[in-house]
Each structure stands twice: as C-alpha cells, then as structure tokens.
Amino acid sequence: MMTVDFGWPFRLFLLPSAIIFSAVLCAHSLYKNRYVDLWQPNSVSLIGWNATVDVHMKRRDTQRLHAALKQERIKYSVFISNLQQEIEKQTRLRSSRKRRSESQYDYEIYHSLEEIQRWMFEMNTTHSDLLNMFSIGKSYEGRPLYVLQLGKRSRAQKKAVWIDCGVHAREWIGPAFCQWFVKEALNLYRYDTAMRRLLNQLNFYIMPVFNVDGYHFSWTTDRFWRKTRSKNGKFHCRGVDANRNWKVKWCEEGASSHPCDDTYCGPNPKSEPEVRAVVKFLRKHKKRVKAYISVHAYAQMLLYPYSYKYAAIPNFNCVESAAHNAVKALYSAYGVKYRYGPASTTLYVSSGSSIDWAYRNGIPYAFAFELRDTGYFGFLLPETLINPTCNETMRAVKAIALGLLKKCHTDTDAFPYI
C-alpha cells in the first residue's frame, strides 16, 4: 500500500560511561557538520563527563567516528547495525494487516496517522456513550488536531486530565500508548471499580498525535524526525521543537535558536499552530484541568516541573508523592524501574517546555513521561514491547488520576506563581 524508502542504511552507536572530554569535542565537530543525529541527549551541550551518548549516523560516516574513537580509546558498542532493516520491520506489511472492525484493531503494532485517525472516528461512533471526538485546530500543513474526550457525561463540572502523545514525531510508542489508554479505559470501565470511578468522576482529554505533520513525515520520509514541519524564512531547515515552543522562559537554557537544531525553540513563543491550539484549549478549561500529562520516549523517567531551573515547585510534596505512587504502580507490573523527579535535575534543563507552561498556568500536576527503553532500541522500540510498555504506563497514569480524587495539602498561597 505504501512504499517507504528511507534510503539510508544507518548505524547506532552507544558510547558508555568512560567517555572523556575529547569525545565531546570529537562529537562536536561531527555534530556541527551534521554527520550525526543525537538520540540521547538531544543536544551536544548536554554531553558531560562520563555521560552515555546514543548517536545515529549514516554508514558511510561511521569510518571517521571509528577512527576517532579508537584514537581516543573510547569504548562503544553498536546496538543496531542495520537500522534500515529495523525500520522496515515496523512499517512494512501495512496492507496485510487488514481489519474488519474496531474490535480487530491491532494495538500491538505501530499505526500510521491515517490509521490512527480512522480508528478515532470509529471509536467516536461505537463508544458515543463515553467518548467524544473533536478538533481543537489545524496543524501547519492543515491537518485537524483531534482530541478524544473520555468520561461519563455529567451535568456537574468534572475535574479533567489532559494527556498528549506524539509531541516528538519519532517517539512512536507515545501515540501507541494514547490509543492503548483509550481502549483499556473503555474495556476496564465495565468491570474495574477504579476505572469506573475515574471515568465517572473525571474527564480525560486525550490527544493521540500532537505533532501530526511530524508524525506523518516520520512514516513517509525520515523515521527519526522530531520537530514540527513549519518552514523558516531564511533557512532551508524545517520544523520547531514543539516542547521548546511554549511561552515560559522561552528560548533560554536548554533550547536552541538555530532553525537546523533539533531543539529549535521557533521564531516566537507559540509560533507553532499545534502549540497554540493546545494552549487555547487548556486556557479555556483551566479551572477544570488538574493534571497535564505529556508522553515521550525514551529514558524511563517520570518528570515534573521545573524544567528550566533547579528549584522545588511550591506543591512539591503533593507532586512528588504522586510521582512516587505512579512509579511504584508502574514497577509492580514487570519490575521496570523509572527514575522520577524535577525535569531539570533528573533529565536536563530545558526551557519553553509544556510541563512548565501547564504548571505556570495553574495546572497543579504536570508530568512528562519518558517511556521505555534506556537506549538499547531507543526510538525503534520493537512492537512486541508495546503491550508491556503500555500496560505498566497505564498503571502509572491510573495512579496519578486516582490521586486527584483525594485531597493533598500543600502551601497553596505560593501557587502557581513562578
């Protein structure tokens, strides 16, 4: 049905702990000339002493790195030696994966944007009692930005939880999780008392693919595309990092002002129509939205504000205990360990992030998940791991949502100013 020609045989290297400073410089020159695509961390400025670095590059450029690493005596391993083959595993056989109805939708494979949208329409028709689909705006390339409202209809004002997936195009496990969440929630509603309580007392707003243009592009052209697809006046490079484009300490530390960088903050705050649409929606519902959850990959972490500075948030004890419970619930499924804490200290400093924006705008619980894994498969998490990854994440999100039904005492006077 769809031919996907990526055209580049890629390799992935991991440089484990004994990295020395010259490696950073070495990576610098390669990076500056755009011979490498950094997977983790996503900017050269974040490579420190003893850091673990995941990079991806064209096969023809590996010789140079080989030589440089050997000279510097830096240890490394090749995790994926034929990236092309791994990519094709996740995109081929689309047409043979037929399905006749929503009940046969395969949640354990990655789906293209068209498939996900078709699925949303179907869910909207077959589950109109608990689910309602609507659009909050249009993307740069004119695609509708769909959101699913999930919860029992009620005349009373219900608290709400926002969940977005696919802010970064190449993190395919995100949209897979959002779909899983909807399916599981509807399923569990029938017999799981906790889920019944959640859907009766809360509304979930779920945006399965935030960066629709980028996600589409990652399917058709560049599997490792991260940003949006907007054009920049003078530069040939396209796209803005949709998690550096929010109006909170915009374009300061941990964001790049260069349009060719993966962490480009954009020409202005909220320059991206996708960010603007979500801002508008959350502002409109700010009184009700008590939790903002953004689903990313990969690192196995649960992060909360601040991203932009090393400081504790005013309601730290409530948020910290929610994160602790979420990570514990996640661990209970398969023993997978997640680190958790403020994004700045747990991952790295970044400015203009969505969780900082949500928090500043009065949403007391703002989280970013970095799902599996820690670098073995990276963005190419195999489809066989969709089920366990979503299962454990579901437990964590449930724990956060159940926490909202209880009171947590915090110093509200100091909230939400930062």
Ligand X SMILES: *[C@@H]1O[C@H](CO)[C@@H](O)[C@H](O)[C@H]1NC(C)=O
Give catalytic residues, as residue numbers: 370
334 binds, among ligand X, Zn ion, none (CB under 5 to 8 A by kind): none
Question: 210: closest CA among 295, 301, 95?
Answer: 295
* Total binding residues toward Zn ion, as defined by CB under 5 A: 2
Q: Which residues of 230-241 are buried (b: 16+ CB within 10 A; e: fewer)?
A: bebeeeeebbbb
User: Does the protein bind Zn ion through residue 170 (CB under 5 A)?
Assistant: no
Q: Kindly report the CA angle at 363 between 362 and 366, in degrees rounded to 5?
A: 135
Interaction with ligand X in 162-191: which residues (CB under 6 A)? 184
SS3 label, residue 253: coil
Place of tokens 């959850």: 293
Stretch that binds Zn ion, among 160-168, 244-252, 340-348, 392-400 (CB under 5 A): 160-168
CB closer to ligand X out of 286 and 395: 395
C-alpha span between 303 and 416 (Å, rounded)? 18
Question: 180: closest CA among 399, 393, 370?
Answer: 393
Alpha carbon 379 to chain centroid, angstroms:
11
Alpha-carbon distances, residue 417 vs 16, 210, 344, 352, 361 (angstroms): 40, 27, 18, 16, 9
CB closer to Zn ion out of 378 and 403: 378
C-alpha span between 358 and 416 (Å, rounded)? 10
Stretch that binds ligand X, among 132-140, 210-218, 263-271, 352-360 (CB under 6 A): 132-140
296 binds, among ligand X, Zn ion, none (CB under 5 to 8 A by kind): Zn ion
216 binds, among ligand X, Zn ion, none (CB under 5 to 8 A by kind): none
User: Does the protein bind ligand X through residue 235 (CB under 6 A)?
Assistant: no
Q: Which residues contact residue 396 at a Cβ distance below 8 angstroms, ignoring those fewer than 6 apart?
A: 302, 326, 327, 329, 330, 338, 369
We find the least distance from the C-beta atom of residue 353 to Zn ion, in angstroms, to be 10
We find the least distance from the C-beta atom of residue 18 to ligand X, in angstroms, to be 7
128 binds, among ligand X, Zn ion, none (CB under 5 to 8 A by kind): ligand X
Q: Which residues pair with 24 in a beta bridge?
A: none
Report the residue from 168, 223, 227, 249 that binds Zn ion according to the rule CB under 5 A: 168
We find the least distance from the C-beta atom of residue 55 to ligand X, in angstroms, to be 20
CB closer to ligand X out of 49 and 235: 49
User: Does the protein bind ligand X through residue 133 (CB under 6 A)?
Assistant: yes
Report the residue from 3, 50, 63, 96 that binds ligand X according to the rule CB under 6 A: 50
Report the residue from 391, 410, 416, 418 that binds ligand X according to the rule CB under 6 A: 391
124 binds, among ligand X, Zn ion, none (CB under 5 to 8 A by kind): ligand X
C-alpha span between 239 and 235 (Å, rounded)? 11
Alpha-carbon distances, residue 5 vs 2, 92, 133, 281 (angstroms): 10, 11, 33, 37
184 binds, among Zn ion, ligand X, none (CB under 5 to 8 A by kind): ligand X
Residues that bind Zn ion (CB under 5 A): 168, 296
Residues that bind ligand X (CB under 6 A): 17, 49-50, 124, 128, 132-134, 184, 391, 394
